[in-house]
């Protein structure tokens, strides 16, 4: 647990460093955003309310 | 016509002027002048008429232009109504429903020491699926969402083995959850879905994680090791080559707002399972970097807590990247450990997408039992076809198990070709 706390502190320190712009954390579980074969650039069939 | 009349009058005037005479001649001259004046007035009236006709013509031309513009606008609106509007619409404003999905299939050519076979499987690393998400915006900062994600995974690679090549039909609701999000206060997930520590060892910027990631056994997880007598053992590849990841759970999860790329998550779910994690991702100094760590209680027999984390860095200019992961599982019988490292390179050889290569090494200790050690090495080449959401890939991997107390086993070699297509 102490090692975990150390690593968490390291992450916080990294985030506090200047020169970094936030970025979305990549995950394997979710499908990657972006174009789809049939769905085009949005990557999704989107149904919306009439504006 | 007016010009011709004027010429006639002028000729007549000239003729009269040539005739000598007194008052009669003067009278005739006045008549001619009067006629000339009348003709001049007539010409002026005709000029006015012509001017009015020109103005009218211009007005008609303007009306025609406006009418044409209106017709074209009406036609465009009709086209938008027919073509661009979805066939199904929500009656509520600020609502968005999206349907997405993917297929991810592999052909594995596996040599288990006795025989070599081809296995056609669904990739358990990132299974084929269909997803329907809905989002209702309450305000610029708050939204309520739903997420239904169904795995449609026939012949899942975690279930196909030498004795069951038809495998199983893994059709499960991966996610059935409500999502309450506020940019200032964070996000609450309620229902079945990812716990806080899901994928905490799988933070990866290499671009090859569809075939090479810390749960190295997933692509052929159901295959059984053979002992040195060529007999099948009861130990599968997945039993050994794992990253102790927490599966999806029925839970409630809270994610903090993102602050400087940093976010925390906590979840508590069925069977008293809980987890907590911290993640960070940022870009700067010429690189992209991401990392995360977490701890979870899987509430499993003989297992206490699981600690895990991973980090990945990608050098933007060269495409070189490095990924590392580690996990530790406190268990009654030894301590399960994972050490994983991957080096990669991304390059854009073609306009249509990035090409990625990687080589990785994994070591699993004390899994599944105390003294059981598994070693794996893998190579991957992957081609993106970005515009069409398609990845084509091929790889090679070996799995070597050194059982602590049991008989020796034979190394499994696997060549893989596959594709993931997001539709």
Of B99, B386, B422, the CB nearest to A45: B99
Residue of A nearest to B284 (CA): A20
Contacts of residues A12-15 at CB distance under 8 Å and 24 or more positions apart, as own/partner, are A12/B262, A12/B278, A14/B280, A14/B282, A14/B289, A14/B291, A15/B259, A15/B260, A15/B261, A15/B262, A15/B280, A15/B282
Last residue of a domain, one of B56, B84, B112: B84
Backbone φ and ψ of A50, nearest 5°: -65, 135
Same domain, B53 and B193: no
Same domain, B188 and B297: yes
Nearest to B207 by CA among B380, B399, B19: B380
Q: What range does the domain containing B60 cover?
A: 2-84
Q: Does A15 contact B280 at a Cβ distance shorter than 8 Å?
A: yes
Which comes out higher in pLDDT, residue B419 or A2?
A: B419
Query: Which residue in the block uniquely carries the two structure tokens 């400087």?
Result: B260
CA of A2 vs chain B CAs: smallest distance (Å): 11
Please report the pLDDT score of residue A20 as a whole number: 86
Gap between the Cα atoms of B155 and B108, Å rounded: 12
Last residue of a domain, one of B21, B53, B84: B84
Please report the pLDDT score of residue B321 as a whole number: 98
**DSSP three-state, residue B24:** helix
Contact B211, B418 (CB under 8 A): yes
H helical segments located in B232-349: 237-240
CA of B403 vs chain A CAs: smallest distance (Å): 29
Is residue B47 within a helix (H) or strand (E), and if so which, with residue range? Answer: helix B23-79
Nearest to B308 by CA among A7, A12, A15, A25: A7
Gap between the Cα atoms of B133 and B375, Å rounded: 40
Of A15, A26, A49, the CB nearest to B91: A49
CATH number at residue B383: 2.40.160.10
Please report the pLDDT score of residue A13 as a whole number: 80
Model confidence band, residue A34 (pLDDT cutoffs 50, 70, 90) = confident
| Residue B83 touches partner A, C-beta closer than 8 Å | no
Could you say which residues from 161 to 190 on chain B have a Cβ atom under 8 Å away from some Cβ of chain A?
Answer: none
Nearest to B304 by CA among B325, B278, B266, B273: B273
Q: Which residues of A touch B284 (CB under 8 A)?
A: 19-21
Same domain, B324 and B418: yes
Query: Which residue in the block uniquely carries the two structure tokens 């084929």?
Result: B128
Is residue B137, in this structure, part of any structural domain at all? no
Same domain, B310 and B391: yes
Same domain, B118 and B36: no
Same domain, B13 and B111: no
Q: Does A20 contact B100 at a Cβ distance shorter than 8 Å?
A: no
Is residue B140, in this structure, part of any structural domain at all? no
Is residue B175, in this structure, part of any structural domain at all? no
Query: Which residue in the block uniquely carries the two structure tokens 């020491």?
Result: B113
Looking only at the bridges linking them, the beta strands covering B390-402 and B353-365 are unpaired
Last residue of a domain, one of B53, B84, B115: B84
Same domain, B187 and B322: yes
Is residue B141, in this structure, part of any structural domain at all? no
Same domain, B260 and B376: yes
| Residue A13 touches partner B, C-beta closer than 8 Å | no
Question: Please, what is the angle between helix B2-18 and helix B23-79, to 10°?
Answer: 170
**DSSP three-state, residue B305:** strand
Which comes out higher in pLDDT, residue A32 or B82?
A: A32
Could you say which residues from 292 to 351 on chain B have a Cβ atom under 8 Å away from some Cβ of chain A?
Answer: 292-293, 295, 307, 309, 312
Same domain, B70 and B202: no
Please report the pLDDT score of residue B370 as a whole number: 86
Is residue B94, in this structure, part of any structural domain at all? no
Same domain, B236 and B369: yes
Is residue B147, in this structure, part of any structural domain at all? no
CB contact set of B391 (below 8 Å; sequence gap of 6+): B210, B382, B383, B384, B385, B419, B420, B421
Is residue B93, in this structure, part of any structural domain at all? no
Same domain, B361 and B303: yes
What is the number of domains present in chain B? 2
Q: Report the residue count for chain A.
A: 51
Is residue B110, in this structure, part of any structural domain at all? yes
CA of A21 vs chain B CAs: smallest distance (Å): 5
Same domain, B395 and B317: yes
Q: Which residues of A touch B279 (CB under 8 A)?
A: 11, 25
Please report the pLDDT score of residue B325 as a whole number: 96
Contacts of residues B165-171 at CB distance under 8 Å and 24 or more positions apart, as own/partner, are B165/B117, B165/B119, B167/B121, B167/B222, B170/B122, B170/B127
Residue B368, preceding bond cis, omega within 30 degrees?
A: yes
Q: What angle do CA B80, B83, B87 make, to 5 degrees?
A: 110
Please spell the DSSP secondary structure of B164-223, one letter per residue: BTT--EE--EEEEEEEEEETTTEEEEEEEE--TTTTTT----SS-TTT-SSSGGGGGTTP
Q: pLDDT tens per residue, chain B (423 residues)? A: 444 554 555 555 555 444 555 567 888 888 999 999 999 999 999 999 999 999 999 999 988 888 888 988 888 887 666 555 555 556 666 788 899 999 999 999 999 999 999 999 999 999 999 999 999 999 999 999 999 999 999 999 999 999 998 867 777 899 999 999 999 999 999 999 999 999 999 999 999 999 999 999 999 999 999 999 999 999 999 999 999 998 899 999 999 999 989 999 999 999 999 999 999 999 999 999 999 999 999 998 888 899 999 999 999 999 999 999 999 998 887 789 999 999 999 999 999 999 999 999 999 999 888 889 999 999 999 999 999 999 999 999 999 999 987 788 999 999 999 999 998
* Beta bridge mates, B381: B357, B394
């Amino acid at each position: 647990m102490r090692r975990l706390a150390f690593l968490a502190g390291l992450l916080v320190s990294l985030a506090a460093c200047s020169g970094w712009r936030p970025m979305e954390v990549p995950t394997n579980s979710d499908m990657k955003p972006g174009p789809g074969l049939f769905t085009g650039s949005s990557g999704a069939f989107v149904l919306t309310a009439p504006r | 016509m007016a010009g011709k009349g004027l010429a006639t009058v002028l000729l007549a005037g000239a003729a009269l002027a040539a005739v000598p005479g007194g008052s009669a001649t003067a009278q005739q001259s006045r008549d001619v002048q009067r006629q000339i004046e009348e003709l001049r007035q007539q010409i002026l009236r005709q000029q006015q008429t012509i001017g009015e006709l020109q103005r009218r013509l211009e007005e008609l031309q303007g009306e025609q232009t406006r009418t044409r513009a209106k017709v074209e606008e009406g036609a465009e609106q009709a086209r938008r109504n027919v073509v661009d509007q979805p066939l199904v619409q929500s009656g509520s404003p600020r609502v968005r429903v999206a349907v997405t999905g993917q297929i991810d299939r592999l052909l594995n050519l596996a040599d288990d020491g006795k025989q070599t076979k081809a296995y056609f499987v669904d990739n358990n690393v990132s299974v084929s699926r269909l997803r329907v998400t809905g989002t209702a915006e309450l305000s610029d900062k708050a939204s309520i969402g739903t997420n239904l994600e169904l795995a449609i995974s026939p012949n899942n690679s975690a279930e196909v083995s030498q004795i069951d090549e038809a495998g199983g039909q893994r059709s499960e609701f991966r996610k059935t959850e409500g999502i309450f999000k506020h940019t200032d206060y964070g996000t609450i997930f309620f229902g079945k879905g990812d716990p806080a520590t899901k994928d905490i060892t799988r933070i990866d910027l290499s671009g090859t994680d569809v075939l090479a990631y810390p749960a190295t056994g997933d692509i052929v997880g159901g295959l059984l090791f053979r002992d040195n007598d060529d007999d099948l053992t009861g130990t599968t590849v997945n039993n050994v080559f794992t990253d102790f990841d927490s599966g999806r759970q029925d839970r409630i999860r809270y994610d903090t707002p993102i602050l400087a790329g940093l976010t925390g998550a906590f979840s508590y779910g069925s069977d008293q399972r809980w987890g907590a994690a911290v993640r960070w991702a940022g870009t700067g100094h010429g690189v992209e970097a991401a990392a995360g760590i977490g701890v979870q209680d899987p509430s499993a027999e003989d297992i206490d807590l699981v600690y895990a984390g991973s980090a990945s860095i990608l050098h933007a200019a060269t495409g070189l990247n490095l990924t590392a992961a580690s996990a530790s599982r406190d268990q009654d019988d030894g301590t399960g450990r994972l050490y994983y490292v991957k080096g990669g390179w991304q390059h854009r050889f073609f306009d249509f997408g990035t090409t990625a290569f990687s080589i990785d090494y994994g070591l699993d200790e004390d899994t599944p039992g105390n003294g059981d050690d598994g070693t794996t090495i893998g190579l991957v080449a992957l081609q993106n076809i970005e515009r069409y959401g398609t990845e084509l890939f091929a790889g090679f991997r070996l799995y070597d198990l050194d059982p602590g107390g049991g008989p020796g086993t034979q190394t499994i070699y696997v060549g893989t070709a596959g594709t993931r297509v997001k539709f």
